[in-house]
Structure 1
Amino acid sequence: MYTDSVLLESRSARSGMAHKVEVLDKVKALAFSTGGAQATTRDVANYFEVPLKTVEKLAERHREELISNGMSVLKGSDLRGYQTDKLSVSSGPETGYPQRRSGLTVFSRRAVLNVAMLLRDSVIAQRVRSYLLDVEESARAHPGVEAVRQSTEELRQTVRTLAAGYGSLDRRVGNLEAAGAELGAVLQELGPVIGRLSTRVERMDHRLAETERRTERTEQVVCAMSQRLADMGEEMRAMRRELRGVAHALGTGSESEDE
């Protein structure tokens, strides 16, 4: 049988109870400021009604164990994306602190339960551990009931995860729709400009076609002139031959008269 002190001191005992996250809501409603499936350090402190520093120090001392149960530190692009999709905080010193840090520690429900099994001086944590021990004792006495309860809780967890994913997807679809509307407005403004450019291009096409037709006619004229020059050259050669014939005939006639 586990006891309260065993849970506080034994990591293996805590590991065996870490899946019973439903006890958190049985003791007190766990409110996530992100609206999703992860709690910030401040959410955890508020749940257990302890100072923020208490949770931060505990997370540092038991970092490896908590990370194995779903605690993580978001940085860089992951942090920016998480804040954009899930956080809705003001710029005040209390609610705005995630945006002022280079990293944001978040806890899964399993990690929050792990914190409950580590916090000694929180009344809420003590009640969670007490409830855990009662559930464990009941499970030992009625194993079939525990199996049904576990299956039910797994189904609830799946539904919560799907709901959180749907919320994020819905926001992203909204962002895409807004971007599409902006793109449509830009294209509408560019429409007249594109129309004018199309008209100018069409005019240039007509001018190029006319230039090609004129060039073709010029080539035809040049070819005709070349052929005419060739014909004139042939006619001139024929005239030279006739002139030489006449000259030769005239020369022969003169020699006969002298004799």
Structure 2
Amino acid sequence: MINEAALLESRSLRDGVVDRTHVIDKVKTLSLLPDGMHVTTAMVATYFEVTETVIRAMVFDHREELESNGYRVLTGSELSYFKQLSGIQSRTASLALFPRRAVLNVAMLLRDSEVARQVRTYLLDVEYMARTQPVDNSVHRGPDSLDDRIDRRITHILGKTIVPMFNALIEASGEHRKELISLRDDVEKVERKLCNHHQRLRHLEHAQGPRPYTGIMASIDA
């Protein structure tokens, strides 16, 4: 089982759970920039209730890891375009941006933030439940097995195709940005509900156990 100390020390463990960004909002609401996807250094500091200096020092120590999870610094024409696209009124010459993955990455690195500790605790609880969920190795036939495959296929399509498509559209959109963000959020909610539905089905199947034999063999035994 992953513990907090191991998570703080091991990048490989952090890489294994960095997709679970929904745990961020379980602790407190993360305010986003108008693009609905990023936060600034100041916003990250506010979320974790630390100073910007603390966040900058953490970025300095772990920049390569954070960049692998979407952290970047905008300058020049790229910054000007982003300001125009997002409606940001600022004369800064550079702007550091954190997507939600990078924010969760920060939560797994900050040692002296109570909010970060709470995020890690929630993250570890979610990971423990995922790892200890019973695995059903039996072969299923009939409608239940088909439904199970459909649920997993739809979840895969939503997570790997539809949501990234919305992200790309949001990046390039103008006046319809809010509508696209709302649609993306609805799709992510459906994806989470399908995952929960799949887990409940697995638990029910495991609790019911194997069904008794019926038909010809049962008649012979009788």
**Closer, same or farther: CA 123–139 of 1 in aligned 2, 3 Å:** same
TM-score of the pair, normalised by structure 1: 0.55
Give the equivalent residue in structure 2 for 1:170: 174
Measured in 2, the distance between the counterparts of 1:157 and 1:20 equals 18
Listed as ranges, the matches of 1:147-226 within 5 Å are 151=155, 155=159, 159=163, 162=166, 165-166=169-170, 169-171=173-175
**Closer, same or farther: CA 114–157 of 1 in aligned 2, 3 Å:** farther
Measured in 2, the distance between the counterparts of 1:37 and 1:48 equals 18
Of Structure 1 and Structure 2, the greater helix share is in: 1
Give the equivalent residue in structure 1 for 2:88: 88
Tell whether 2:124 aligns with 1:120. Answer: no
Give the equivalent residue in structure 2 for 1:250: none
Q: CA deviation at 1:39?
A: 1.2
RMSD between superposed Cα atoms in Å:
3.1
**Closer, same or farther: CA 23–119 of 1 in aligned 2, 3 Å:** same
Give the AA of the match of 1:141: T
Matched residue SS, 2:95: strand
Q: CA deviation at 1:60?
A: 1.1
Q: Which runs of 5+ in 1 are unaligned?
A: 90-95, 174-259
Tell whether 2:57 aligns with 1:66. Answer: no
Q: Which runs of 5+ in 2 are unaligned?
A: 136-150, 178-222
Q: CA deviation at 1:143?
A: 6.2
**Closer, same or farther: CA 123–160 of 1 in aligned 2, 3 Å:** farther
**Closer, same or farther: CA 130–107 of 1 in aligned 2, 3 Å:** same
Q: CA deviation at 1:34?
A: 3.2
Give the AA of the match of 2:102: A
Give the equivalent residue in structure 1 for 2:133: 142
**Closer, same or farther: CA 116–104 of 1 in aligned 2, 3 Å:** same
Select the residue among 110, 124, 137 that pairs with 2:101.
110
**Closer, same or farther: CA 12–159 of 1 in aligned 2, 3 Å:** closer
TM-score of the pair, normalised by structure 2: 0.63
Give yes or no for contact 1:44–1:55 (8 Å, CA) kept in 2: yes
Give yes or no for contact 2:48–2:116 (8 Å, CA) kept in 1: yes
